[in-house]
Amino acid sequence: MEYRQLGRTDLKVSAICLGTMTWGEQNTEAEAHAQLDYALAQGINFIDAAEMYPVPPKPETQGRTEAYIGSWLAARGRRDDVIIATKIAGPGNGLAHIRNGRTRFVEPTIREALEGSLKRLRTDYVDLYQLHWPDRRTNFFGQLGYTPAEEKYPPHIEETLTALAKLVEEGKIRYIGLSNETPWGVMRFLAAAEQLGLPRVVSIQNPYNLLNRTFEVGLAEISHREQVGLLAYSPLAFGMLSGKYLGGARPAGSRITLYSRFTRYLKEEGQRAIAEYVALAREHGLSPAQMALAYVTSRPFVTSNIIGATSMTQLEENIASLSLTLSEEVLAGIEAIHTRQPNPCP
């Protein structure tokens, strides 16, 4: 396993992070525990969760993912062997079941969210506490353009950071991170930390895969210059980059087959690009999933690649992608496809 520095901290996280958002929905507690056992045996020390998980979010399942991690920690007693990241949900449609819709990032809400996560995770502290998405009006979750809009509250980054700082001082959070953030947001968090002597964000968890490299515009430079590395999510574009959905196939039990709401990677241009990436991998005798994962892991601004798996076979294949080094020829092939079809599924 390869380990990389998390921001300017002294923590070293595995280059592959274990994503968990299927646990409690597509995966049972026993399967979650088996994934954790296997991942740790392979050297993974980094796990990513969220109070909102599993997905799709529902009142009756909310918190199950963290609870499965908590029961694993209680059974194995390996708290010191894992770096646990989780997230507080921001405002959003269909999330009224989370704190009755109280999701602005202010002290009482953050405290309540964190206490809930700590209880489910059965631990006293979270290593990395992330804001799941901005609580201001901006463009994320695939929206490329920014449109100024009426806001009920102005952005209040200093207030959020001050609240997080208290929880860091209390020892309940070790480090803080952002997710689904924009360049403006990351820079404002960094500036506020500097001006007010508050904790600095150490990471940004955004989508990054062969169909969506928008992180490279604006954010990659920030990652490099400020040491706020990318924790890349959806590296397989919801499994689509494995090629298993090509030609309209809908394999039984898989995410896109099960949930019609997941349309982010279904655009026609995306399907054409996927066919090209899959053909490129096969031409070079590579597994398309491993090629897609190795590409993400090897980007210089990536601190860790957050993989997801619903079976042990997938998990094994995905972790094994670490030993794949992409040749210059494959990288050139990827660039050629990207140039013809840049970011078809942002």
Which residues in the 24-43 window bind ligand NAP by CB under 6 A? 26
- Residue 245 engages ligand NAP in binding (rule: CB under 6 A): no
What is the Cα–Cα distance from 86 to 113, expressed in whole angstroms? 10
Which residues in the 130-159 window bind ligand NAP by CB under 6 A? 132
Q: How many Å from the N-terminal Cα to the C-terminal Cα in the chain? A: 30
Choose the stretch contacting ligand NAP; rule: CB under 6 A; options: 35-43, 97-105, 162-170, 228-236.
Answer: 228-236
- Residue 117 engages ligand NAP in binding (rule: CB under 6 A): no
Report helix angle 107-121 to 157-169, nearest 10: 40
Q: Which is nearer to ligand NAP, 93 or 195 (CB)?
A: 93
| Contact indicator for 275, 341 with CB cutoff of 8 Å | no
- Residue 103 engages ligand NAP in binding (rule: CB under 6 A): no
Q: Which is nearer to ligand NAP, 123 or 310 (CB)?
A: 310
Among 13, 98, 289, 319, binds ligand NAP (CB under 6 A): 289
- Residue 255 engages ligand NAP in binding (rule: CB under 6 A): yes
- Residue 179 engages ligand NAP in binding (rule: CB under 6 A): yes
- Residue 123 engages ligand NAP in binding (rule: CB under 6 A): no
What is the Cα–Cα distance from 183 to 219, expressed in whole angstroms? 6
What residues are labeled active site?
53
- Count residues contacting ligand NAP (CB under 6 A)? 30
Among 7, 90, 235, 333, binds ligand NAP (CB under 6 A): 235
Residue 335 vs residues 6, 105, 174, 340: alpha-carbon distances, Å:
28, 39, 38, 9
Angle at 178 (CA atoms; ends 150, 89), nearest 5 degrees: 65
| Contact indicator for 113, 171 with CB cutoff of 8 Å | no
CB count in 10 Å sphere of residue 2:
12
Structure tokens at 298: 């090897």
- Which residues contact ligand NAP by CB under 6 A? 19-22, 26, 48, 132, 179-180, 205, 233-239, 242, 244, 254-255, 289, 306-310, 314, 317-318
